[in-house]
Amino acid sequence: MNQKVLIGIIAAIILAVGAVVILQHHKAAAASKDSEETNVPVNQLLAEAAQYEASGDKLKAKEAYDQIISNYPDYDNIEDVQNKLGELNIDLIFSPAQMPQTISYEIVPGDSLGKLARKFKTTPQLIKRANGLKSDVIRTGETLRIWTAPFNILVNKSQNVLFLKSGEEVFKIYHVSTGKDNITPVGTFKIATKIENPVWFRNGGAPIPSESPDNPLGSRWMGFDTDTHYGIHGTIHPESIGQQVTEGCVRLKNSDVEELFDIVPVGTEVVIQN
């Protein structure tokens, strides 16, 4: 190989390497620019969420809070953001706003709230609240907004928190009490019974009516399928929330358990973990 050919080959290699380096530099710069555009500063997202809430656009506010939780999980005040998002999600669940998880359903002859709740695996209370119904009466031809996505519940005993979820999305985090000496059972359960203003059938004693100040079950009971002694219920001791003090059940403030009761139907999966 003569010298001119060799020099030409070397020059071509140098030019090729240089082109690759320049291309990689441009790609890195573009990726950095895309990242900067995607990761909007947390303070800007907070301001946007507040503006959307003030204007009544709760769906846009939800998107802003979702971005903060997704992009800034280590943000110092992330718990405040989670609480705001939880409150907003509950407002949206109980509102007539159309969401990816909802449908518009036209009532046909023979429909009832109970029948629709069973058909779409939701609750009559949720249908009523989302549509502003004052009674159980529904009329043929009217259109109802109905939630169709299934909910599930995750309870973390070590943190004494309950996550209301739909799929992998966390809708709201509730503070709870769990069993003393770690006796709350771990595993996967289903809600088998739902009772408003439950009577307490204590072992070896007379039943305690719901209105009695000695009834520890509070205003709602959601019993598990595999052991009827355990479930999710309210409390007459709200100051105990956040502690491990129960006889094995998961205990919420009455206002929280009433909210949860209206959202989750019989059959909802409950996972309890340490």
What are the E-state strand segments in the chain? 102-106, 143-147, 152-156, 161-166, 169-175, 178-179, 187-196, 220-224, 231-233, 244-246, 250-251, 269-273
pLDDT tens string 9-23: 555 555 554 544 444
* pLDDT score, position 14: 53
Q: Quote the CA–CA distance of 65 and 61 in Å, as a whole number.
A: 6
* pLDDT score, position 210: 83
Question: Tokens 């043929």, residue?
Answer: 140
* pLDDT score, position 209: 85
pLDDT tens string 26-43: 545 444 444 444 567 889
pLDDT band at 3; cut points 50, 70, 90: low
Strands 161-166 and 152-156: antiparallel
The alpha carbon of residue 135 and the mean position of all alpha carbons in its chain are separated, in whole angstroms, by 27
Stretch 185-190: mean pLDDT: 96
Q: Quote the CA–CA distance of 146 and 181 in Å, as a whole number.
A: 42
Stretch 121-134: mean pLDDT: 97
Model pTM score: 0.82
Question: Tokens 């159980």, residue?
Answer: 136
Q: Which two tokens stand for residue 251?
A: 């205990």
Known catalytic membership, residue 249: yes
Taking 50 as the threshold, does the pLDDT of residue 126 lie above it? Answer: yes
pLDDT tens string 85-113: 999 999 999 999 999 999 999 999 999 99
Question: Do 248 and 226 touch, CB atoms closer than 8 A?
Answer: no
Strands 161-166 and 187-196: unpaired
Please list, in sequence order, all residues whose beta carbon lies within 8 angstroms of the beta carbon of residue 16, skipping any fewer than 6 positions away: none
Please list, in sequence order, all residues whose beta carbon lies within 8 angstroms of the beta carbon of residue 164, skipping any fewer than 6 positions away: 151, 153, 170, 171, 172, 173, 174, 260, 263, 264
Q: Quote the CA–CA distance of 246 and 241 in Å, as a whole number.
A: 10
- Could you tell me the domains of the chain? 42-93 (no CATH), 102-147 (3.10.350.10), 152-273 (2.40.440.10)
* pLDDT score, position 203: 76
Taking 60 as the threshold, does the pLDDT of residue 7 lie above it? Answer: no
Known catalytic membership, residue 26: no
* pLDDT score, position 256: 97
Calculate ∠ Cα 169-172-177, nearest 5°.
Answer: 125
* pLDDT score, position 213: 84
Q: Quote the CA–CA distance of 179 and 168 in Å, as a whole number.
A: 26
pLDDT tens string 196-254: 999 988 777 788 888 888 888 999 999 999 988 899 999 999 999 999 999 999 999 99
Helix (H, G, I), strand (E, B) or coil at 196: strand
Give the DSSP H or E segment for 128: helix 124-131
pLDDT tens string 249-268: 999 999 999 999 999 999 99
* pLDDT score, position 92: 96
Stretch 129-140: mean pLDDT: 96
